Amino acid sequence: MTLAGFTAIRPFRAPWHVRVGWLALFIYLAYATSHLELTWPRFLQGIGNGATFIGRMLPPNFERWELLLKGMAESLEMAIVASFLGIVLSLPLSVLAARNLMPAVVTWPVRMLIMLCRSFHPVIVAIIFVKAVGFGALAGIAALTVASVGFLGKLFTEAIEEISLKQIEAVRATGASFMNTIVFGVIPQVMFRFIGFSAYETDANLRNSTMVGIVGAGGIGGTLFAAFQRFDYDFVFAILLAIIALIMVGEVLQIQIKRVFKQ
Amino acid sequence: MSAVHPATLREWHRFTPAERLARYAVYFFLVAAVVISAESIEIIPEFLYDAPEQFADMFHRMWPVAWGFYPEGVHEVLIETLDIAALSTVFGLLMGIPVGFLAARNAVPVPFLNYLARFILVSTRSVSTLLWALFFVAVFGPGALAGTCAIAFHSIGFIGKLFSEAVEDANKGPIEALTAAGASPMSLILYGYWPQVKPTFWAIALFRWDINVRESAVLGFVGAGGIGMALDTAINLFQWDRVATILVTVFVVVIIAEVVVTQIRKRII
């Protein structure tokens, strides 16, 4: 015997507009998928191509290790210099952009500048700089610096806006100058978070410094792109392994540095 | 004269000597890294002095912006860019969430699987979008499919890392209660972990979509579809007014994406 007359009641049923939203999302995704021309034969051919590709990548070829080392060193140097410049530029900018320290007349233009730096991908910025200052590491450093200012400027500003104003008031009450207020009222409160953000951004710059070379802005990316176009896939694999190793070392260092500064 | 207790003579320090030594070591290491890098990097000074002039020339050529180019050459690739961003986020979530779950030490108490998942997360993240795009262009041929796969694979690391941290932060109480009631592993995930990590999941999805909109704009430089193709062509042909049109379009789209994400976050999280 079935329980006639009883229907299951779902107490947490989604309201109609949420369901319409889901439906719209699914229709959009289906429509977007149809644009991709993902057909079965193409997929099978892709698997075949991928297998050939990976076959030619193995074993990695470290014969031209001098070229590899030179490119990696340049990437690393670019990342370090760009992170340094980015941090140095972001510190004053974030103080100027913090709404709890500055009037709106000052914060708005600075916030716009930071947003402009953040809205373009480093590679697009790198292309512009390659056209402006020529091929090489300089364009890469400039592009990564712009990206760092966009990212660090935003995070530093948010960190400063979240501080407690009581300490600022206390420092001001002693008759401290503006710079003293910053140094003794603001910086101690945000120091640890700043170190975390800076470490993260250095890590991001390291990743991006291996990429901007593809558009001619220096670093290992150029070497990699050249090897790719000459179908030296075994050298490409060697470069990829080197990049992954470098980034893993960077991640470990980042964790260690954060540990040292944890109070 | 009464003798002073030796303990009161000791000066107070905020850090132990080992901590101070570690800090100085880090400072030294950082300063040395910056100095060595700045010294050894090859910069051609002439290029640097020339830069302001070159920039002025470039912006001069960009003006006036060729708005008429938008309907004929930008709109279609822009839609393709947005499609790539949305689909790659979905595929990235489909691949990243399981790997992220395997990387969480409390949910999957098998060290081997944890390390394997962590390795996948770090290595997919280390290979940047453009490098993935090069690979997938070789596999699937030029076009949006290669771009979608590239961003999806690059997203695995980011999504998985944040998701595994959310799972590791999950409260043990409900999990233990379910285990005590004899719940199956699937029920543990669905009723123990999922309700706790759901807000983080949506935050990750939105944040990653926002990033992917930016990322998908550069895929075109290696032939993987999207608005980057139009940008690359315009730059190679020195059509700076068209370059300006595309840059303005990218800027507007990125701003809109950021506003959308902020609004949705406010509503659902």
Mean pLDDT of B99-115: 87
* Average pLDDT of the segment spanning B137-153: 87
pLDDT at B178 over 60: yes
A77 touches B: beta carbon within 8 Å: yes
- How high is the pLDDT of residue B184? 86
Name the pLDDT band for A11 (thresholds 50, 70, 90). low
Which of A173-177, A211-215, A216-220, B184-188 has the largest mean confidence? A173-177
User: Rounded distance, CA B61 to CA B56, Å?
Assistant: 9
* Dist CA B146 CA B139 (whole Å): 8
CA distance B45 to B49: 6
Closest residue in B to A38 (Cα) is B145
Q: Identity (one letter) of the amino acid at A110?
A: V
Strand, coil or helix: A9: coil
If 0-12 CB within 10 Å is exposed, 13-18 middle and 19+ buried, where does residue A154 land? buried
Residue B28 to chain A, least CA–CA distance (Å) = 12
Q: Under a CB-based contact definition with an 8 Å cutoff, are residues A152 and A83 in contact?
A: no
Residues from chain B that touch A208, judged by Cβ atoms under 8 A, are 128
Q: Which position has the token pair 């233990």?
A: B176
CATH number of the structural domain B59-268? 1.10.3720.10
Does A35 contact chain B (CB < 8 Å)? Answer: yes
pLDDT mean over B130-142: 85
Q: Which residues of B touch A121 (CB under 8 A)?
A: 214-215, 217-218
pLDDT at position A7 is 66
Residues B165-174: pLDDT tens digits? 888 888 888 8
Burial of B265 (C-beta count, 10 Å sphere; 0-12/13-18/19+): middle
**Residue B74 and residue B79: Cα distance in Å, rounded?**
9
Mean pLDDT of A39-67: 79
| The pLDDT of residue B8 | 61
Instruction: Note the pLDDT of residue A6.
Output: 65
* Shortest Cα–Cα distance, B6 to chain A (Å): 28
Nearest to B97 by CA among B172, B211, B197, B175: B197
Higher-confidence position of A61 and A81: A81
pLDDT of the residue at B88? 92
Q: What share of chain B is helix, strand, coil (3-state, %, to 5)?
A: 80, 0, 20
Residues of B in contact with A37 (CB under 8 A): 143-145
Q: Residue ranges of the domains in chain B? A: 59-268
Q: Does A76 touch chain B (CB under 8 A)?
A: yes
Alpha carbons A128 and A151: distance in angstroms, whole number: 19
- Over the stretch B208-252, which tens digit does the pLDDT of each residue have? 998 899 888 888 888 888 888 888 888 888 888 888 888 889 889
Do B122 and A247 make contact, defined as CB atoms within 8 angstroms?
A: yes
Outline where A36-181 has alpha helix (H): 40-57, 65-97, 104-119, 122-133, 137-161, 165-173, 178-181
Contact yes or no for A138 and B215 at CB 8 A: no
Confidence band, pLDDT 50/70/90 cuts, at residue A1 = very low
Nearest to A138 among B26, B48, B140 (CB): B48
Taking a C-beta distance cutoff of 8 angstroms, is the pair B148, B88 a contact? yes
pLDDT at A240 over 50: yes
Q: Where are the domains of chain A?
A: 71-261
Distant-in-sequence, close-in-space partners of A40: CB < 8 Å, separation ≥ 6: none
B218/A35 CB distance under 8 A: no
Region B36-57 average pLDDT: 78
End-to-end CA distance of chain A: 68
Q: What phi and psi, each to the nearest 5 degrees, are found at residue B239?
A: -90, 80
DSSP secondary structure of B192-228: IIHHHHHHHHHHHHHHHHHHHHHHTTTGGGGT-SSHH
The predicted-structure confidence for A194-232, as pLDDT tens digits, reads as follows: 888 888 888 889 888 888 888 888 888 888 888 888 888
CB within 8 Å of A253: residues ≥ 6 apart: none
Lowest mean pLDDT among A166-170, B29-33, B52-56: B52-56
pLDDT for the residue numbered B156:
92
Reduce the DSSP state of residue A176 to 3 states and report it. Answer: coil
Assess contact for A116 and A93: CB atoms under 8 A. Answer: no
Cβ–Cβ contact A214 with B under 8 A: yes
Whether the Cβ atoms of residue A45 and residue A216 lie closer than 8 Å to each other? no
Q: Taking residues B63-75, what's their average pLDDT?
A: 79
Search chain B and give the residue with CA nearest A142: B48
User: What six digits make up the tokens of B175?
Assistant: 């999990």
> Residues B6-20: what's their mean pLDDT?
74
The CA distance from B160 to B97, in Å, is 6
Interface test with B, best of A31, A44, A80 (most B CBs within 10 A): A80
pLDDT at A4 over 70: no
The verdict on a CB contact (< 8 Å) between A136 and B43 is yes
CATH fold of A71-261 reads: MetI-like fold (1.10.3720)
Tokens of A91: 């510190």
Residues of B in contact with A188 (CB under 8 A): none
Q: Both ends of chain B: CA-CA distance in Å? A: 69
Arithmetic mean of pLDDT over chain A: 84
Question: Which tens digit of pLDDT belongs to each residue from A103-136?
Answer: 888 889 999 999 888 888 888 899 888 888 888 8
DSSP string for residues in B81-110: HHHHHHHHHHHHHHHHHHHHHHH-TTTS--
